[in-house]
Amino acid sequence: MPITKLDNEKFSQLCANCEQVRDLPLSELTTSEDDSDTAPLRVPVCPKCGAFELLIPTQPDAQPHPVEGSYGHLHQLLVDELRDRRRPAAVARGKGKSKPPLSNLFPAGLVLAKPSEFRRVERKPETND
Ligand SMILES: [Zn+2]
């Protein structure tokens, strides 16, 4: 059930089970009882088919994603961005850790095609070299 779009107030999710796309306010994302910075985010149950998803943010000891610009990499960035927006305290604690600007990999905004329609994005060249 991937995330397909993210904006200031809401996000869009494609249900992997029934393929329904729905828009949800960010406030509908909740964390599990273990309210740590790396806790999974719970997406409300799909109203059409009842499927349920957890989004797992990048864990602190994770290696960099092996294929930059791949579907999996971009989806992980969206999940982390959702986590950051839902949990500003976590962001404050992580201050100092540099996060590359998402616009490099999302030149058209925070949107992601369905896995079946996805084409890898080539990263824009860094401007500082
Ligand atoms: Zn569904």
Ligand 1 centre and the CA of 120: distance in Å? 26
Residue 120 lies in a domain: no
Ligand 1 centre and the CA of 92: distance in Å? 34
What was the pLDDT predicted at 120?
75
Ligand 1 centre and the CA of 41: distance in Å? 17
Residue 117 lies in a domain: no
Residue 39 lies in a domain: yes
Domain that holds residue 89: 3-112
Domain count across the chain: 1
| Predicted model pTM | 0.83
Residue 106 lies in a domain: yes
Residue 121 lies in a domain: no
Ligand 1 centre and the CA of 43: distance in Å? 12
Task: Give the span between the Cα atoms of 70 and 121, in whole angstroms.
Answer: 7
Residue 104 lies in a domain: yes
Q: For 78-94, what is each residue's pLDDT tens digit?
A: 999 998 888 776 666 66
* Alpha helices (H) in 23-109, listed in sequence order: 71-86, 88-93
Residue 55 lies in a domain: yes
Residue 89 lies in a domain: yes
- pLDDT band (50, 70, 90) for residue 127: low
DSSP string, 24-49: EEGGG-EE-SS--TTPPEEEPPPTTT
Ligand 1 centre and the CA of 114: distance in Å? 15
Q: For 10-61, what is each residue's pLDDT tens digit?
A: 999 999 899 999 999 998 988 766 667 788 899 999 999 999 899 998 888 8
What average pLDDT is seen over the chain? 84
SS3 113: coil
Task: Give the span between the Cα atoms of 26 and 96, in whole angstroms.
Answer: 25
